[in-house]
Amino acid sequence: MSAPSPASPSPPTHRLARLIAGRRAKWAVLVLWIILLAALGPLAGKIKDVQKNDAVNWLPGGAESTRVVKLQEQFRKDETALAVIVYERAGGITPADRAKAAADLPALGKLPGAQQAQGPFPSADGKALQTLVPILSDDITDAVADARDLVKRGPPGLDAHVTGPAGGAADQFEVFKSLDGFLLMAAGLVVIVLLLIIYRSPTLWFVPVLSAVFALVLAQSVVYLLAKNAGLTVNAQSSGILTVLVFGVATDYALLLVARYREELHRHDDRHEAMAFALHRAAPAVIASAATVAVGLLCLLAAEMNSTAGMGPVAAVGVLTALAAMTTLLPALLVIAGRWLFWPLVPRYDAKYLDPDAFESEHGIWSRVAGLVGKHPRALWALTSVGLLALTFGLGSLKAEGLSDAGQFTGRPDSIVGSEAVARHFPAGSGAPAVVIAKASASRPVAAAVSGTPGVAELSRPVTANGLVQYEATLRDPADSRAAQKTIDRLRDTVHTVPSAEAKVGGVTAINLDINRAADRDNKVIIPIVLAVVFLILILLLRALVAPLLMMGTVVLSFLASLGACALIFRHAFGFEGTDTVFPLLAFIFLVALGVDYNIFLMHRVREESQTHGTRRGIQRGLTVTGGVITSAGFVLAATFTALATLPLVAMAEMGFVVAFGVLLDTLIVRSLLLPALSYDLGRRIWIPGRLSKGDHSADSSKVLDAVG
């Protein structure tokens, strides 16, 4: 038998909630999810088959380096990457060393996917040899592994390494190969441990984790279908972030729903009725939050870079599947399992909880925080604002100019050691030349223009096909350096002026340069779009202007503070050389979207409480009853993103760290102190021009302040 609720939900909403958690409907929901997973689940394991991790798929189709890659198809059927084998002896190459390198040449030519091997070429200083082996892109991993095993078996004192584009790609693939499995285990383990601590139950954690796994499988299946049939660009980075994001967001939503369900179980003897009321009250905030995050992520579709544009739909699919699982499957499983799932702290019906104040009195620490907000709102928001502003000064240390080859790894894989050896003894750009393609009729003036460009060390013989000519220009500077990128700009300026040549410059350095410029454009265009879209959604949700302004302003300040603090940590604690050019944009998207997420949870409850108790009292009540669960959600999300920070790739480690740091900063400071204090100081004016701004209740009186304090 259910006890009456202190506030009955509107019939349509209540009927929808009962449909999900009804006595018969709960089984139907479970069966539907099982059928859905049985049909789509096998596709989740194929997501690696549609990943595109090559640099070209990170670029917009209009980039000059991308056009060069497409033109190169005229000269060869299959895409290749160059493996550079470098032999080095500090005291000088010996006859035995030369014999070893010569003996390796036939075997290198028989590697999987290997084309004609060339070399060995001696260095001018006599201390190194170099062999070049083009390898088909599909065979890089196996070929490089076999090459390393072969060349390292040489005379004592001879060092041998496999580097070049193929060597670097193989080292990255090695990391990506086990990425999804590692992140799934790491994120799952973190969530389980934290749920055990939060729920203090040996059984309750299983249902949210199972629901999150269902959500992840569905998300990966949908992403696979979009990549296979709709041209969505998916790479290892977006796939890895999808795993972490689904687990973190799904667990956040689960924490909110379970907290509200536990609250209603004290008010209702019938668990089905309790879940119906819990869904009615919690689902609007969860849905609004998920919609805000998803729409913000979809703004990335405006990016020029294919990888960034693809990240938006991939992450949005993750958020929406998490929402679907946590508002349908999770409630059904909770109701099927019954109250015993909460053992040993089983929530029982008690008439005293029909008084809403009964729950407020049970949140001791957050009741005290709310009291502090009520006593010293202006001092609190001033102090926290100054602290956050101080952290923004670290932005001066942020170097978002792209990462060198060595800077992409937290360690020193073989390709990096080898590239350093090449740079010591050969022209620094060896193994990663600039590629110039022009009309064959203009081959001589193009060759003269390239040879005369400062920064070009050597020019290859021309290769012609289908009325086109191709040159490879070895650069004097390392291919991943700023100096090499300036040479690319000079090359482009020079060859573009050759009459009727229609010359274009590509290659590894040109691709990196175009990636950086596309990312810089995306930073400037997409950030304002996201701010505008999220702000409009908040206005519609809260039916006010001032409260959304406060929410957006505090979240942006939190983002800048997080970025500043992390810039200092990356540079002085971790020793990273900088960040990818796309890092500020992705950090902004995740931190602003997820920061607004928590503020929505808080302010939605504040608005609910303000309708009955007045704004200032509503702020305190909202903070008191949501403080624990939102903080727990923040810790869970931060912990899951920390899994990324353990990876040996700098870009992934930085993204994981900044999101974890930013979420904690937002959860503990912005949502707990800054936003409530600012809102409390302004009182009912935060609801301007809505109805709640027209009149307030006794919560604005000093009597209530004294009572709560």
Can you give the pLDDT at residue 485?
93
Q: CA-to-CA distance for 186 and 191, rounded, in angstroms?
A: 9
The reply to whether 115 and 244 lie within a common domain is no
On the question of pLDDT at 323 being above 90, the answer is yes
Domain containing residue 14: CATH number: 1.20.1640.10
The reply to whether 167 and 96 lie within a common domain is yes
On the question of pLDDT at 670 being above 60, the answer is yes
Residue 629 lies in a domain: no
**pLDDT, tens digit, 9 for 90 and up, residues 336-347:** 998 888 888 888
- pLDDT band, residue 709 (cuts 50/70/90): very low
Question: Shortest CA distance to 336 belongs to which of 36, 28, 32, 38?
Answer: 28
Instruction: List for the chain the helix, strand, coil content (%; round to 5).
Output: 70, 10, 20
- pLDDT band, residue 356 (cuts 50/70/90): low
The reply to whether 233 and 319 lie within a common domain is yes
Can you give the pLDDT at residue 351?
65
Q: Which residue has the higher pLDDT, 191 or 335?
A: 335
How many CA within 13 A on the CB side of residue 295?
Answer: 18
Which of 146, 176, 206 terminates a domain? The answer is: 176
Can you give the pLDDT at residue 448?
94
Q: CA-to-CA distance for 18 and 26, rounded, in angstroms?
A: 9
- pLDDT band, residue 609 (cuts 50/70/90): confident
Question: Shortest CA distance to 632 belongs to which of 438, 363, 416, 425?
Answer: 363
Can you give the pLDDT at residue 497?
93
The reply to whether 249 and 128 lie within a common domain is no
Q: Which of 185-189, 314-318, 684-688 has the lowest mean pLDDT?
A: 185-189
On the question of pLDDT at 358 being above 60, the answer is no
- pLDDT band, residue 708 (cuts 50/70/90): very low
The reply to whether 336 and 204 lie within a common domain is yes
Alpha helices in 569-614 (DSSP H): 583-613
At residue 469, the 3 state secondary structure works out as: strand
Q: Distance of CA 513 to CAs 229, 489, 510, 517, 654, Å?
A: 30, 9, 5, 6, 21
Q: Which of 264-273, 450-459, 697-706 has the lowest mean pLDDT?
A: 697-706
The reply to whether 48 and 189 lie within a common domain is yes
Q: Which residue has the higher pLDDT, 272 or 179?
A: 272
Per-residue pLDDT, averaged over 302-319, amounts to: 89
**pLDDT, tens digit, 9 for 90 and up, residues 532-579:** 988 998 888 888 999 999 999 999 999 999 999 999 999 999 999 889
Residue 395 lies in a domain: no
Residue 470 lies in a domain: no
Q: Which residue has the higher pLDDT, 427 or 27?
A: 27
The reply to whether 30 and 143 lie within a common domain is no
Q: CA-to-CA distance for 638 and 632, rounded, in angstroms?
A: 10
**pLDDT, tens digit, 9 for 90 and up, residues 109-122:** 899 988 888 989 99
Residue 250 lies in a domain: yes
% of the chain surpassing 90 pLDDT: 43
The reply to whether 247 and 345 lie within a common domain is yes
Q: Distance of CA 217 to CAs 29, 35, 67, Å?
A: 17, 13, 36
Which of 326, 354, 382 terminates a domain? The answer is: 354
Residue 88 lies in a domain: yes
Q: CA-to-CA distance for 223 and 228, rounded, in angstroms?
A: 8
pTM for this prediction: 0.83
- Average pLDDT in the chain: 86
Using an 8 Å Cβ cutoff, are 253 and 636 in contact?
Answer: no
The reply to whether 204 and 146 lie within a common domain is no
Q: Which residue has the higher pLDDT, 405 or 327?
A: 327
Can you give the pLDDT at residue 516?
86
Domain containing residue 129: CATH number: 3.30.70.1710
Structural domains counted in the chain: 2
Can you give the pLDDT at residue 178?
66
Name the packing angle between helices 11-21 and 271-298 (round to 10°): 100
On the question of pLDDT at 5 being above 70, the answer is no
The reply to whether 349 and 209 lie within a common domain is yes
- pLDDT band, residue 12 (cuts 50/70/90): low
**pLDDT, tens digit, 9 for 90 and up, residues 362-415:** 567 888 899 999 999 999 999 999 999 999 999 988 888 888 888 888 888 999
Encode 616-647: b = buried (16+ Cβ within 10 Å), e = exposed: bbbbbbbbbbbbbbbbbbbbbbbbbbbbbbeb
Residue 415 lies in a domain: no
Domain housing 349: 1-62+179-354
Which of 176, 200, 217 terminates a domain? The answer is: 176
On the question of pLDDT at 612 being above 70, the answer is yes
- pLDDT band, residue 605 (cuts 50/70/90): confident
Residue 210 lies in a domain: yes
Residue 53 lies in a domain: yes
Name the packing angle between helices 306-324 and 271-298 (round to 10°): 170
Per-residue pLDDT, averaged over 573-594, amounts to: 88
The reply to whether 228 and 189 lie within a common domain is yes
The reply to whether 56 and 184 lie within a common domain is yes
